[in-house]
């Protein structure tokens, strides 16, 4: 996905995300993501001022929420769909696991998977567009 802050002239950063259907928010890591996005702390970046409760398999945790602009990219890094403003959560510490995508793809695009064993996620802005991509098995 392409991601940028809500600040004027914000840099755009391309990050890899796992399409996790059980995740409500997308993950941003404190290091190196916040530095690459040039997101300052609250109150300078006032879209980063909220702590939310997240229910995980291990229990309830509190994470800092941040609002960002996101847009899906295809395998050739070309945009798919429009920019959307979505909430993410900041995970403290260094990058040490895959980022989860949250609700972005399900709220903005039609998605489908295929039982072909390749693990591809098919997306389109229109329902017909996603069904026409699916292989016949």
Per-residue pLDDT tens listing for the chain (137 residues): 788 888 888 899 888 776 666 667 788 888 788 888 888 777 778 788 788 898 877 888 898 888 889 888 887 888 887 888 888 888 876 666 667 666 666 666 677 766 666 666 676 777 777 677 666 66
> Is residue 94 in some structural domain?
yes
> Is residue 64 in some structural domain?
yes
> Is residue 117 in some structural domain?
no
CATH number of the domain at 80, please: 2.40.70.10
Range of the domain at 17: 2-108
> Is residue 75 in some structural domain?
yes
CA distance 109 to 104: 8
> Is residue 84 in some structural domain?
yes
The overall pTM is greater than 0.75:
no
pLDDT at 104: 63
The domain total for the chain is 1
> Is residue 128 in some structural domain?
no
> Is residue 116 in some structural domain?
no
> Is residue 58 in some structural domain?
yes
pLDDT at 116: 65
């Amino acid at each position: 996905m392409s991601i940028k802050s809500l600040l004027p002239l914000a840099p755009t950063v391309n990050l890899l995300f796992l399409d996790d259907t059980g995740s409500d928010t997308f993950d941003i890591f404190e290091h190196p993501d916040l530095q690459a996005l040039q997101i300052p702390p609250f109150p300078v970046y006032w879209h980063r001022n909220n702590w939310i409760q997240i229910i995980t398999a291990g229990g309830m945790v509190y994470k800092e929420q941040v609002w960002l602009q996101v847009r899906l990219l295809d395998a050739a890094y070309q945009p798919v769909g429009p920019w959307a403003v979505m909430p993410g959560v900041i995970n403290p510490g260094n990058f040490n696991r895959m980022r989860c995508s949250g609700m972005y793809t399900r709220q903005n695009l039609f998605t489908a998977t295929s039982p072909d064993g390749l693990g591809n996620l098919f997306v389109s802005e229109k329902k017909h567009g996603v069904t026409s991509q699916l292989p016949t098995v």
